[in-house]
Structure 1
Amino acid sequence: MAGNSDPLTPRAKIAVTAGKAVAAASRAAGRGSGSVIGGKVALRLDPDLLARLAQHLDVTLVSATNGKTTTTRLIAEALKAAGPVVSNALGANMPAGITSALAGGSDARFGVIEVDEKYLAGVARDTDPKCIALLNLSRDQLDRAAETRMLAENWREGLAGSKAVIVANADDPLVVWAASSSPNVIWVAAGQMWKDDAWSCPSCGGVMQRPGDDWFCGECGFRRPTPSWALSGDHVLDPHGSAWPIHLQLPGRANKANAASSAAVAAVFGVPPQVALERMYQVQAVAGRYDVVQFQGRDLRLLLAKNPAGWLETFSLIDPPPTPVILSVNARGADGTDTSWLWDVDYTRLSGHPICVIGDRKLDLAVRLEVANQQFQVCENLDQAIQLCPPGRIEVIANYTAFQDLRRRVGN
């Protein structure tokens, strides 16, 4: 709010103070970061707090099924070139967690906020973002999120007429359909490895044609828009046709795609691609993802994969056979309790790797691997799996709560 250095009302200040106190108490009790419970208390005391905290910020929202947390980190790093940034870097991406994060950034100029797909429209209403990055939509948490077209429709209706600049992936038909209701869209050719959620047209239900990297609906004419930014190998192509090298410490094609979208967002705020991409090199690991940790005399690389699209990208990262692989799957509330998605993952890509299976739903995963004709061993826990793995580095792939379990066990 121009001319007002302190936009918070007395009630809002009390809410922020109370939220921080509850969060600190939660941390002291060893119950995690406290950001969610602190945010819930603060919002209970002042339901308009999120809007109040956002009003002095230039806000960017980031939403997608996969890559939200990493892209949020990359954008935040890039925008630091232009001023102080506040961000929910730990991934608490629903309104309570977002409120907690913003409450800690009173001197920031930019807010870079990861938002759960289901909450995007509401958070956009509260925070009046200058930019919204939409990366992808695919099946995930089937018991909670329903099917992907419903999410796309939720986005499309919630963002219709938005004043924000939408930076959207031109290669995902669901994202394109969702973003097309907005008047100001920057299209990025970020690629799409997983295509199994967009074989029917989100606009009319017709069959999608997919020649090469292009796509269009043969019935209603809905088609891939012409991108102004593109990922091309190890470079980002900007709207002027200049190619800027991507230097990341994060592995894989998906992170290069995240960097391309992040560069397009940074440009909205006046940060040139070269500066943005150079700053992204600072990001080494994101909430433990991609970390290599020493544990029981072995090097373990921790990889997060929460849904079929994520597993597909992760398989492209791992070292070639005979590198051993430990797979861990849970089905707790934060994962989604429905594990039917395991049948959508192509586990034949693990042929030649010694495989150990752990986690709450190790037997679900074992049945799936058996059908895929993979050789594997079911283990009680991480320690036993490591004992059974041949020497050398181990790739450990886990879904959300299984990943948190692993991090606690290895002290990461």
Structure 2
Amino acid sequence: MSGNSDPLTPRAKLAVTAGKAVAAASRAAGRGSGSVIGGKVALRLDPDLLARLAQSLDVVLVSATNGKTTTTRLIAEALRAAGPVVSNALGANMPAGITSALAGNSDARYGVIEVDEKYLAGVARDTDPKCIALLNLSRDQLDRAAETRMLAENWREGLAGSKAVVVANADDPLVVWAASSSPNVIWVAAGQMWKDDAWSCPSCGGVMQRPGDDWFCGECGFRRPTPSWSLSGDHVLDPHGSAWPIHLQLPGRANKANATSSAAVAAVFGVPPQVALERMYQVQAVAGRYDVVQFKDRDLRLLLAKNPAGWLETFSLIDPPPTPVILSVNARGADGTDTSWLWDVDYTRLTGHPICVIGDRKLDLAVRLEVANQHFQVCDDVDQAVQMCPPGRIEVIANYTAFQDLRRRVGN
């Protein structure tokens, strides 16, 4: 490992030092963590730096439309049972942020890295991962991300012939199609609530048949592979058929699915399911997600939902009516500037909840809720929305930059 031999050239060391200095200056100026700008400077000085930093690590890459930050955190906790871990825990998941995270820890044995879907193939080339976890693919950021089928094709081509063990969700046809170019795949039945991006066969374009939890294409025979790991209620079933209880402080079925995939990844590195799942219990919140904060004598639970699939999962874990719900939507660069995805979300699931709407695009959201026959109030900001709710629990659901705005305001 890195302690024994130093893989960094003098140029690489200079790049790491310069990157850290720029990041520190950015933090001092109050411009966030500085990891992205620091990584950009470091890569400018040494374009091969990411590959050099990854040389001494056993690397896991995690990619998906939803759940990558949480799953990355769960895998990192599990692998700490086997040795020190470095991870881009704050979710900076493009090459600059990843480089910055790896440069911050020279003693680690494992690198657990969340990767933006569009960059997966390139980061896999640079880091020579031992394992790649693929969780799901659905529509997201319609103005910048190509359609999901093109992303799946990008993955499929990028992973063809990869030596990595690919841990992939057998319930998502797009993920299965992308992963099946890899020679070594471990299939996990992690479930798929959102099916609207997988009605046509990614292989031939035929209509997908979906009897029960199964799926197959009636035209070309492309079908769901047999999983060796699966989520069953509150247990993970391993390849030997043993059931291991899932202990999580994070809510919802989606996080149990993330834990199942994480247990399968941990097993690739020799960490048994029981140990992996016990360690995952340490995770209470992930970059502010699921945190409960006190604000104006109320308990606000902060939930991040960035796209239709994410909103659907989030609606399934909120407290029942009449718990008030605050919805906040922005459409800044990091969110995607096209809000037409709001029409893909089934807001009738909020019937019975008092709803307050805030955020840059609150009027877009108000029109959508009106059409869904929901009762709601449009508010100027989170302060006003909270004042309209009775004391007690409030569920606050926001997309990416709206979530960051909320965290700053409510002091999380």
**Deviation (angstroms), 1:3:** 9.4
Q: Match of 1:56?
A: 56
Partner Cα distance (1:225, 1:43) in 2: 40
1:14-66: per-residue Cα shift (whole Å, max 9, x none)?
00000000000000000000000000000000000000000000000000000
The alignment's TM-score, normalised by the length of structure 1, stands at 0.99
CA distance in 1, matches of 2:77, 2:223: 33
1:61-107 Cα shifts (integer Å, max 9, x gaps): 00000000000000000000000000000000000000000001100
- Any idea what the Cα deviations from partners look like across 1:277-315, whole Å, max 9, x if unmatched? 000000000000000000111100000000000000000
CA offsets, 1:85-131, max 9 Å, x none? 00000000000000000001100000000000000000000000000
Deviations 1:226-282 (A, max 9, x none): 000000000000000000000000000000000000000000000000000000000
CA distance in 2, matches of 1:328, 1:220: 43
Shift of 1:390: 2.7
Q: Which residue number corresponds to residue 290 of structure 1?
A: 290
Q: Please report how far the alpha carbon of residue 2 of structure 1 lies from its aligned counterpart in structure 2 after TM superposition.
A: 8.4
Matched residue, 2:2: 2
Query: What's the CA shift string for 1:366-396, capped at 9, x where partnerless?
Result: 0000000000000000000011113321000
Q: How does 1:52-131 map to 2 (within 5 A)?
A: 52-131=52-131
Q: Per-residue deviation at 1:4?
A: 5.3
Segments ≥4 residues shifted beyond 3 Å: 1-4
Report the alpha carbon displacement of residue 321 of structure 1 after superposing the two structures with TM. 0.3
Cα offset, 1:357, TM superposition: 0.1
Residue 176 of structure 1 deviates from its aligned partner by 0.0
CA distances 1:212-231 after superposition (whole Å, capped 9, x unpaired): 00000000000000000000
Contact map agreement 2:297 2:391 (CA 8 A) in 1: no
Q: Report the secondary structure of 1:61's partner residue.
A: strand
* Structure 1 residue 222 corresponds to structure 2 residue 222: yes
Paired position in structure 2 for 1:308? 308
Deviation at 1:411, TM superposition (A): 1.1
Name the TM-score, length of structure 2 as normaliser.
0.99
The aligned residue for residue 384 of structure 2 is: 384
Contact 2:2 2:106 (8 Å CA) reproduced? no
How many residues are aligned here? 412
Q: Would you say the 8 A contact 2:329–2:362 is kept in 1?
A: yes
Identity over the aligned pairs, expressed in percent? 95
* Cα distance between partner residues in 2 of 1:292 and 1:201: 41
Q: CA deviation at 1:5?
A: 1.6
Deviations 1:131-170 (A, max 9, x none): 0000000000011002100000000000001000000000
Q: Give the unaligned 5+ runs of structure 2.
A: none
User: 1: CA distance between counterparts of 2:410 and 2:185?
Assistant: 43
CA–CA separation in structure 2 for the residues paired with 1:168 and 1:349? 29
SS at match of 1:86: strand
Residue aligning to 2:246:
246
Q: Is the 8 A contact 2:2 2:107 kept in 1?
A: no
* Larger CA deviation: 382-391 vs 371-380: 382-391
Secondary structure of the 1:62 match is strand
In the alignment, the residues of structure 1 paired with residue 373 and residue 219 of structure 2 have an alpha-carbon distance, to the nearest angstrom, of 39
1-structure distance, mates of 2:109, 2:155: 26
SS at match of 1:145: coil
* Residue 260 of structure 1: aligned partner: 260
- What is the aligned-residue RMSD (CA, Å)? 0.8
Q: 2:392 aligns to what SS in structure 1?
A: coil
Structure 2 Cα separation of the partners of residues 136 and 162 of structure 1: 19
Report the Cα distance in structure 2 between the residues aligned to 1:344 and 1:390, rounded to whole angstroms: 30
SS of 1:14's equivalent in the other structure is helix
For residues 165-219 of structure 1, give each alpha carbon's deviation from its aligned partner in whole angstroms, at most 9, with x where no partner exists. Answer: 0000000000000000000000000000000000000000000000000000000
- For 2:57 and 2:203, the matched residues in 1 are separated by 35
